[in-house]
Structure 1
Amino acid sequence: MIRRLLLHSLLISLLLCSAAAMADRHTPPPGVLELEDGFYYVVQKGDTLWDVSARFFNTAWYWPGLWAENDISISSHNPHWIYPGQKLRLALRGTISEPEPLPIITEKPLPEPEPPSYRFSPIHRVGFITPEPVEPSARIIAATESRDMISTSDRVYIAPSADRILPIAGRYIIYASPEKVRNPDNQRSYIGYLHYISGLVDITEHRNGLTIGHVSSAFRPIQEGDLLFPMPKRKPEIPLKPPVEGLEGKIIAGDLNQTMFAQEDIIYINFGKKDGVMPGQTYYLIEEKEISATGLKKDRRTDRIPFGAVFILDTRETASAAFVIDSRKNASIGTLVTSPIH
């Protein structure tokens, strides 16, 4: 509730200038409806919250506030899923007024408002790329009951790696043998190893020299021989952060050996912590077109056209995992990913 009030306050402050202009003209700006309970924008084909936020608040980074203000009914975890004809409330009528003075606090300063964030619920399913395979803590020997495939709620026997002791209640990710990721600019070289996360397991007991775990979640088929690694510290609430300027990379992999990617897919990009990339940043998907006014090769010029956006979920030293939040066409391995183009 507090977060919603803070977001609403920020929304109102961002609209003060435009609301004042409305009052002077007695009519809302083009594209805005003035109804009994507030000012609304009617969604057009191709709109996203990112676009609407940039248009009416002079910053695309306010889209989580616009989302919270409207309590948009989302059928998936993608907040940009809005539809033509849908009305987005920009501000309440009668709420734009001279703010009351805040009480003077001498003992404690006012708490800093939480930065806008994006909630990505399936964050623990997101894999990661490292230059070399991570050292596993253990491997799954077998299920305690005969199974063709290990899944959620199954109990499994676990063999810790040498000199490893798995603590009771410890939680580990389950992953298959890491896959090599090729360099899109040189197919003979490799960028690193992609670790797909198949599920989560909790250590429940040590008995008769055996370690036993409970599979709390299964995201993909789990098999005997799959490996374990301590679960990374990740939170589904990811604060928004500005992107690194002038950065560009390429899509190098996708989940489950995908080579074509659309909205809501997970992709992996060949820039990471060493480049200043952090979770919460947004970058553009870019299409490059060669144009020649004369038709001659020497007169060719390359134009870069953004056709989508990705949100960074996880970063390692040289690579990052991202979620495609908006895309007007399919991307593929080797598609260019850059800082926002101004």
Structure 2
Amino acid sequence: MPVHGKMFSPLVFLIVFFIGAHFSSLGAREKAENVNTHQDTGFYYTIKKGDTLWDLSQKFYDSQWDWPGLWELNKNIKNPHWIYPGNTIRVYLKPELKQPRPEKTVRMAVETRFNYPAIHRTGFIKQEQVPPLGTILREKDGNLMMATDDIVYIKSTGRTPLIPGHRYQIYTTSQVNQKIGTNRYKGIKHLIKADLDIIQVNNQYTVGKIIKSYRDVVSGDMIMDFYPRQPVFKVNEHPDPIDAMLLCSEDDNVLVNDYRIAFINKGSGDNIQPGNIYTIKRSKETESVYNIKTGLNIAPVLIGRLIVLHTESASATVMLLSSTQDINPGDIVN
């Protein structure tokens, strides 16, 4: 094929692109609205002066030709030639499930943040149980399962007075006892079930209203102060490696699928921070070849990625971002 035929298509594309940009500047420039990061879960970037989708595509993905993907992801951008400093756009992270090739040039640093508004209802693991301020006695009308807008009676523990108008949460706990090599990890998993508002306090019992339920509330569930946590954090795609393990999922699923919440056995005491992204691997210990034990240790297989949402001293709450196989408790995180 003649050389001219190979060069024609990219040349036409560039001409059309820059002509479109020129004529767009002659019309009305409709400023895109900011993405509401208080409602949407995902990765975000704040536009700076001089940014273009073309350049951001190069920064994020090492290719200027990925800019249509950024435009498609942000429906609020009416004209791809006009983006405005201070506005927020959603970005996507490409899967990195293959070992990256050595880079010849240094990539430009791009600050990305992850937004997770549901963080306040996400479970966590502590070494000791959060002391309850009270327990649910029953629902006003005697219903066994309690949910949003139900009125509930509460027995206070007397540890701290329950205050009308103050925000509380209903929770339950379960033991975590996971074998890790020759050791065992032990902790207390806290599962948030609902948000609660105190209506009335008297000498015998306290009356509350369930403002928002996330799981069914039952008699015996406990009350604690609202646990505030940061819903937006800076993304770190290349933190220092860790030697951790997936303990369990929030709802004790045998298979942990994409976007499920789970826990690992390392936390803030190991310099782990919200926003860190780690890989998930599966160990292949001893392989057999032609039915003869070789004793050859095979490198763990890369099967997924996760992001840290919250940390305690010896554990972290994480969300699975992607996977190529079913993820199980016991898989390696590093």
Superposition map of 1:1-342 within 5 A: 1=33, 6-7=46-47, 9=49, 12=52, 15=55, 53-56=60-63, 70-72=72-74, 92=80, 116-176=112-172, 178-185=173-180, 189-207=184-202, 209-241=204-236, 244-289=239-284, 297=293, 300-338=296-334
Change (3 A) 1:179 1:256: same
What is residue 39 of structure 1 aligned with on the other side?
Answer: none
Q: What's the CA shift for 1:71?
A: 3.7
Letter in structure 1 aligned against 2:47:
L
User: Which residue number in structure 1 is paired with residue 27 of structure 2?
Assistant: none
Q: CA deviation at 1:143?
A: 1.4
Question: C-alpha separation between the residues in 1 aligned to 2:181 and 2:174?
Answer: 17
**SS of the residue aligned with 1:184?**
strand
Matched AA of 1:197: I
How many matched pairs? 264
Distance 1:308 1:186, change over 3 A: closer
Quote the offset at 1:307 in angstroms. 1.9
- 1:245-286 alpha-carbon deviations (Å, 9 max, x no partner): 121200111122212111111111000010011111111111
- Give distance in 2, aligned partners of 1:68 and 1:246: 30
Contact 1:283/1:309 (8 A) holds in 2:
yes
Deviation at 1:137, TM superposition (A): 1.3
TM-score, normalization by structure 1 = 0.66
Asked whether the equivalents of residues 156 and 205 of structure 2 are also in contact (C-alpha less than 8 Å), the reply is no
1:123 aligns to what SS in structure 2?
helix
The CA deviation string for residues 195-223 of structure 1, in whole angstroms up to 9 with x for no partner, is 11111111122246432111011111111
How far the C-alpha of 1:147 sits from its partner, in A, is 0.9
Q: C-alpha displacement at 1:288, in angstroms? A: 3.0
Which deviations, in whole Å up to 9, do the C-alpha atoms of 1:301-328 show, x marking residues without a partner? 4223322111111110101110111111
Identical counterparts, % of pairs: 20
CA distance in 2, matches of 1:289, 1:188: 20
Q: RMSD in angstroms over aligned alpha carbons?
A: 3.6
- Alpha-carbon contact 1:8-1:69 (below 8 Å) kept: no
Distance 1:143 1:299 in 2: 60
Structure-2 change in CA distance of 1:156 and 1:194 (3 Å):
same
SS of residue in 2 equivalent to 1:196: strand
Name the CA shift for 1:239/1:16 in 2 (closer, same or farther; >3 Å): closer
Query: Are the equivalent residues in 1 in contact too, given 2:45–2:111 (CA < 8 A)?
Result: no
- Alpha-carbon distance in 2 for matches of 1:262, 1:187: 28
8 Å CA contact retained: 1:131, 1:192: yes
Give the SS at the match of 2:52.
Answer: helix
Alpha carbons of structure 1 residues 223 and 288: separation in structure 2 relative to 1, 3 Å = same
Partners in 2 of 1:125 and 1:148 — Cα distance? Answer: 22
CA deviations 1:86-134 (Å, max 9, x no partner) are xxx9x94598xxxxxxxxxxxxxxxxxx953222232223111111212
2: CA distance, partners of 1:214 / 1:72: 39
Q: What TM-score comes out, normalization by structure 2 length?
A: 0.68
